[in-house]
């Protein structure tokens, strides 16, 4: 009996300690909603209202009014006569406001507006600090900096988007390209390929996927021997705010590296199909994540493999972002051209630092939107896109197209990961979005360029990451797509 009493007392004390530790302020868990208040769009905390009482009013005088609503105080009335209250789950904020605004003891009753930290990464090539001599990454923030010179505001509004989110690790960007920087390192007496780039050094963020090329070098690792894949991955999600190199768009999301191009940048439709299947299956086998596919490549022939890959990704709600091509023609490369047939396919063209369509960028039917890709293949590099490259000799460096560790490249290949990274930020704030909703939101939130509305040169306009993320928050949550148990 004594043992039973001791056990019972221990349980009671455990419950008391738990309640004390979890009581804190008694506030409800912060849930962010959007609505219209006083004619303006507002983000506000659900189940919370801020109240300013009239002079001389004390808490006890408001008790009966709160009891009627089933509400409670979260804090005392302060010297400025403000306090916050918590509503029951069954009562909407705006319904409660209508009641409180008529109370003679209350001077003001307002939604509790959301505030966020202002994120400004310390990466030198973004900030323009040593070793950089100016802000290289005009595509993220364009002030008209010289070089390259350009139009202020001709950028994707990354800073404003980062004030909302910098990404979620449960969102995974599958980069189907030439790989990621890997160098042999001694691991337990054995030389094994390890992450080697200062902006791709976190194994918790980089998932080394499958090599579907395996021709040069003769191994099965996703080691980048070309530089294109590393450049694309850096635009989408380089490690950021780490005092190194460049800033990536979705820098708290993860990367899944899948090799579908060889050291010369060549690949096949079959390798693309296998890469898509691998990325989709990664999501199917990891129900907690959402995957997006970036494919900065393509070819003129539309093959049944391209269609089957797009359909497979569409079945499991995985969006594919594909480059329009760099041939300045009025038709898109495949698989981007399939955007007319599959709502999960997003075809991306390129703009320059003046928000003009890049002369090389393909255009025409099916183009979804455009994003910064750089001006042209000129001797001056500063108007191109600056990003990561391998920290060892690669094919493109041998031919004079890049330098080591960080460099410029230009093309719709560079424009595409800006869009993919933005979509990752969108999923980070609303994981319920379908692939077609993501495409619609990117289109609706783009900054209109060219003729009013949709046109074949710019699609729906130039990517605006800030507007896209805001729209993703505003979109009501929806049920998961069919076969959600396997996603």
- What confidence tens digit (pLDDT) does each residue in 169-215 have? 999 999 999 999 999 877 777 778 899 999 999 999 999 999 999 75
Q: Evaluate whether 148 touches 383 at the Cβ level (below 8 Å).
A: yes
Residue 410 CA: distances (Å) to CA of 20, 156, 350, 358, 381: 58, 16, 9, 10, 9
Same structural domain, 61 and 161: no
Predicted model pTM:
0.80
pLDDT of 283 > 90? The answer is yes
Dihedral angle computed from the Cα positions of residues 9, 11, 12 and 15, in that order, rounded to the nearest 10 degrees: 160
Asked if residue 200 belongs to a domain, the reply is yes
Q: What is the 3-state secondary structure (H, E, C) of 212-250?
A: CCCCCCCCCCCECCCCHHHHHHHHHHCCCCCCCCCCCCC
Helices (H) and strands (E) in the chain, counts: 12, 16
Q: What's the burial of 397, exposed, middle or buried (CB within 10 Å: 0-12/13-18/19+)?
A: middle
Residue 224: predicted pLDDT: 96
pLDDT of 28 > 80? The answer is no
Query: 382: closest CA among 156, 198, 129, 150?
Result: 150
Which helix (DSSP H) or strand (DSSP E) does residue 273 occupy?
Answer: helix 269-285
Same structural domain, 157 and 306: yes
Same structural domain, 165 and 80: no
Same structural domain, 331 and 252: yes
The pair of structure tokens assigned to 487 is 């996603």
Q: What average pLDDT score do residues 107-135 get?
A: 88
Q: What is the pLDDT of residues 293-307, one digit of tens each?
A: 999 999 999 999 999
Question: Mean pLDDT in the chain?
Answer: 89
Q: What is the pLDDT of residues 39-56, one digit of tens each?
A: 877 878 899 999 999 999
pLDDT of 59 > 80? The answer is yes
Same structural domain, 41 and 72: yes
pLDDT more than 90, % of the chain: 79
pLDDT of 343 > 60? The answer is yes
Choosing from 66, 92, 113, the residue where a domain stops is: 113
Residue 27: predicted pLDDT: 45
What SS3 state is found at 267? coil
Residue 479: predicted pLDDT: 32
Answer yes or no: 197 catalytic: no
Residue 171: predicted pLDDT: 98
Q: Which member of 155, 199, 210, 228 is catalytic?
A: 228
Q: What is the pLDDT of residues 400-444, one digit of tens each?
A: 999 999 999 999 999 999 999 999 999 999 999 999 999 999 999
Asked if residue 21 belongs to a domain, the reply is no
Q: Which member of 177, 199, 262, 447 is catalytic?
A: 177
What SS3 state is found at 428? helix
- Report residue 106's pLDDT band, with 50, 70 and 90 as the boundaries: very high
Choosing from 80, 113, 146, the residue where a domain stops is: 113
Asked if residue 17 belongs to a domain, the reply is no
Asked if residue 139 belongs to a domain, the reply is yes
The total domain count for the chain is: 2
Q: What average pLDDT score do residues 117-123 get?
A: 78
Same structural domain, 108 and 148: no
Q: What average pLDDT score do residues 59-84 get?
A: 92
Residue 186: predicted pLDDT: 73
Q: What's the burial of 170, exposed, middle or buried (CB within 10 Å: 0-12/13-18/19+)?
A: middle
Q: What is the CATH number of the domain that holds 264?
A: 3.40.50.200
Beta bridge partner(s), residue 206: 255
Asked if residue 377 belongs to a domain, the reply is yes
Q: What average pLDDT score do residues 124-129 get?
A: 94
Q: What is the pLDDT of residues 142-169, one digit of tens each?
A: 999 989 989 999 999 999 999 999 999 9
Q: Evaluate whether 131 touches 141 at the Cβ level (below 8 Å).
A: no
The pair of structure tokens assigned to 269 is 């439709």
Query: 88: closest CA among 135, 55, 48?
Result: 48
Q: What is the pLDDT of residues 211-249, one digit of tens each?
A: 999 755 556 799 999 999 999 999 999 999 999 999 999
Residue 29: predicted pLDDT: 55
Same structural domain, 142 and 92: no
How far apart CA 459 and CA 461 sit, in angstroms, is: 5
pLDDT of 371 > 80? The answer is yes
Same structural domain, 342 and 429: yes
Q: Which member of 334, 361, 413, 428 is catalytic?
A: 413
Same structural domain, 245 and 264: yes
Same structural domain, 222 and 321: yes
The pair of structure tokens assigned to 49 is 């209202």
Residue 192: predicted pLDDT: 80
C-beta neighbour count of 39 within 10 angstroms:
5
Asked if residue 454 belongs to a domain, the reply is yes
Residue 118: predicted pLDDT: 62
Asked if residue 25 belongs to a domain, the reply is no
pLDDT of 461 > 70? The answer is yes
Choosing from 113, 146, 167, the residue where a domain stops is: 113
How far apart CA 240 and CA 472 sit, in angstroms, is: 23
User: Considering just the CA atoms, what is the radius of gyration of the chain in Å?
Assistant: 26
Q: What average pLDDT score do residues 455-479 get?
A: 85
Same structural domain, 87 and 59: yes
How far apart CA 208 and CA 182 sit, in angstroms, is: 10
Residue 36: predicted pLDDT: 84
Domain extent at residue 88: 32-113
Answer yes or no: 231 catalytic: no
Asked if residue 11 belongs to a domain, the reply is no
How far apart CA 252 and CA 235 sit, in angstroms, is: 13
Same structural domain, 447 and 358: yes
Answer yes or no: 5 catalytic: no
Q: Is the dihedral of CA 438, 439, 442, 445 positive or negative?
A: negative
């Amino acid at each position: 009996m004594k043992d039973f009493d001791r056990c019972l007392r221990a349980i009671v004390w455990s419950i008391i300690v738990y309640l004390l530790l979890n009581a804190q302020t008694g506030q409800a868990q912060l849930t962010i909603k959007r609505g219209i208040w006083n004619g303006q769009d507002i983000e506000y905390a659900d189940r919370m209202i801020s109240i300013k009482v009239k002079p001389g009013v004390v808490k006890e005088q408001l008790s009966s009014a709160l009891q009627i609503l089933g509400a409670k105080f979260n804090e005392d009335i302060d010297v400025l006569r403000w306090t916050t209250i918590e509503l029951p789950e069954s009562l909407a904020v705006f319904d409660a406001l209508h009641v409180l605004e008529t109370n003679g003891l209350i001077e003001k009753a307002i939604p509790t507006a959301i505030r966020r930290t202002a994120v400004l990464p310390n990466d030198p090539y973004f900030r323009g600090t040593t070793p950089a001599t100016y802000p290289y990454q005009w595509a993220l923030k364009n002030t008209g900096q010289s070089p390259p010179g350009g139009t202020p505001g001709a950028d994707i509004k990354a800073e404003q988007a980062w004030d909302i989110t910098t990404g979620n690790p449960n969102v995974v960007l599958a980069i189907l390209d030439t790989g990621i920087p890997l160098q042999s390192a001694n691991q337990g007496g054995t030389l094994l390929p390890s992450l080697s780039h200062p902006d791709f050094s976190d194994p918790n963020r980089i998932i080394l996927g499958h090599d579907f090329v395996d021709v040069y070098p003769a191994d099965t690792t996703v080691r980048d021997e070309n530089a294109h894949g590393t450049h694309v991955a850096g635009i989408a999600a380089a490690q950021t705010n780490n005092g190194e190199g460049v800033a990536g768009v979705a820098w708290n999301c993860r990367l899944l590296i899948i090799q579908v191009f060889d050291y010369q940048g060549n690949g096949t439709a079959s390798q693309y199909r296998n890469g898509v299947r691998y990325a989709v299956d990664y999501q199917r086998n990891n129900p907690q994540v959402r995957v997006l596919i970036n494919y900065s490549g393509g070819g003129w022939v539309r093959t049944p493999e391209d269609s089957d890959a797009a359909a497979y990704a569409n079945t499991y709600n995985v969006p594919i972002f594909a480059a329009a091509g760099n041939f300045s023609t009025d038709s898109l490369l495949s698989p981007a051209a399939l955007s007319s047939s599959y709502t999960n396919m997003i075809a991306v063209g390129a703009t320059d630092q003046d928000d003009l369509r890049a002369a090389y960028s393909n255009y025409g039917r099916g183009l979804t939107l455009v994003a910064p890709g750089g001006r042209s293949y000129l001797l001056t590099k500063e108007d191109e896109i600056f990003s990561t490259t391998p920290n060892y000799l690669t094919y493109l460096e041998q031919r004079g197209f890049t330098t080591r560790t960080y460099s410029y490249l230009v093309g719709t290949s560079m424009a595409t990961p800006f869009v993919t990274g933005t979509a990752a930020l969108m999923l980070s704030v609303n994981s319920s979005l379908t692939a077609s909703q993501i495409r619609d939101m990117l289109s609706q939130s783009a900054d209109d360029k060219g003729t009013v509305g949709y046109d074949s040169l710019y699609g729906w306009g130039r990517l605006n990451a800030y507007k896209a993320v805001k729209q993703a928050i505003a979109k009501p949550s929806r049920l998961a797509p069919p076969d959600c148990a396997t996603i």
